[in-house]
Amino acid sequence: MPLTAPRILVVEDEPVINQAVTERLQGSGYDVVQAWDGPGAVALCAETSPDLVVLDVMLPGFDGHEVCRRIQAQRPVPVLMLTARDDEADILVGLGVGADDYLTKPFRMRELVARVAALLRRVERAAELADRSPAPLGDLGDLHVDAASRRVRVGGDEVHLTPTEFDLLLCLAGSPGTVLTREHLYAEVWGWSGASGTRTVDSHVKALRAKIGAHRVRTVHGVGYALETGTSA
Ligand code: CA
């Protein structure tokens, strides 16, 4: 148990939702700070250094994408996005703004709390793993993944991945050529098993493909994904 409760910044302009989320998270033992618009969220994030941000997309001032970009520029912080539609979530992740997970409205409070807890655990686990020497990765052709420095090169060129995209790639690269189910990937990378998370995986795979080359990640429909080992397209 940490000595102090993790701090969560809740950003949502609808007072009823903001208050309901805040109270539920407080009831689960978190220290919660609230913001109601884009500029307020960025300022409060800098001021209070939350451990996680629950962020609505549609906000006055500027929207959740811009908030995400600006707070990630300050320092890396896990972000759980609240979106109105599934396809909006796709766009979010595709833009590479740094959202780690998302929930589509309307959502169950229980699921929100579970996702928050899983994201916080994931950050903790990543910190622990960083202290260990990473297992050597298989031959990935001209794709070079350095787990220790968290850097990726394709050919000779460095590719910039979000922390979530990197974790997903690292998971796939642990068993190149092997099909990993979406459920397995969600459990491994996001640290929580739930069928509703599989779309999160799809969106992040799409974003990863756009950065490292679509042919490098093979889709096995209805099952999952595999990292291709060869360099041929
Ligand atoms: Ca809103």
pLDDT of 232 reads: 46
CATH of 7-127, one of 3.20.20.140, 1.20.1250.20, 3.40.50.2300, 3.30.70.1290: 3.40.50.2300
Taken as a whole, the chain contains a residue count of 233
How many angstroms is it from 84 CA to the middle of ligand 1? 9
How many angstroms is it from 57 CA to the middle of ligand 1? 6
Tell me the C-alpha distance between 86 and 151, whole Å. 30
How many angstroms is it from 117 CA to the middle of ligand 1? 23
pLDDT of 52 reads: 97
* Alpha helix stretches (DSSP H) within the chain: 15-27, 38-48, 64-74, 86-94, 109-131, 163-173, 182-185, 198-212
How many angstroms is it from 17 CA to the middle of ligand 1? 9
Tell me the C-alpha distance between 94 and 174, whole Å. 24
**pTM summary value:** 0.82
Fold of 135-227: Arc Repressor Mutant, subunit A (1.10.10)
How many angstroms is it from 58 CA to the middle of ligand 1? 4
Q: What is the pLDDT along the chain (233 residues), one digit of tens a residue?
A: 456 899 999 999 999 999 999 999 999 999 999 999 999 999 999 999 999 999 999 999 999 989 998 998 888 899 999 988 777 766 766 666 778 888 888 999 999 999 999 999 888 877 776 666 566 665 688 898 888 888 899 988 999 888 889 999 999 998 889 999 999 999 888 887 776 778 889 989 999 999 999 999 999 998 999 998 764 44
Q: Among candidates 72, 120, 88, which has minimal Cα distance to 199?
A: 88
Residues with CB under 5 A from ligand 1 (ion): 13, 56, 58
**DSSP letters for 73-120:** HHS---EEEEESSHHHHHHHHHTT----EEEESS--HHHHHHHHHHHH
How many angstroms is it from 11 CA to the middle of ligand 1? 9
Whether the domain at 7-127 and the domain at 135-227 fall into the same CATH topology = no
Tell me the chain's radius of gyration from C-alpha atoms.
18
pLDDT of 108 reads: 92
How many angstroms is it from 21 CA to the middle of ligand 1? 13
Domain parsing of the chain, residue ranges: 7-127, 135-227
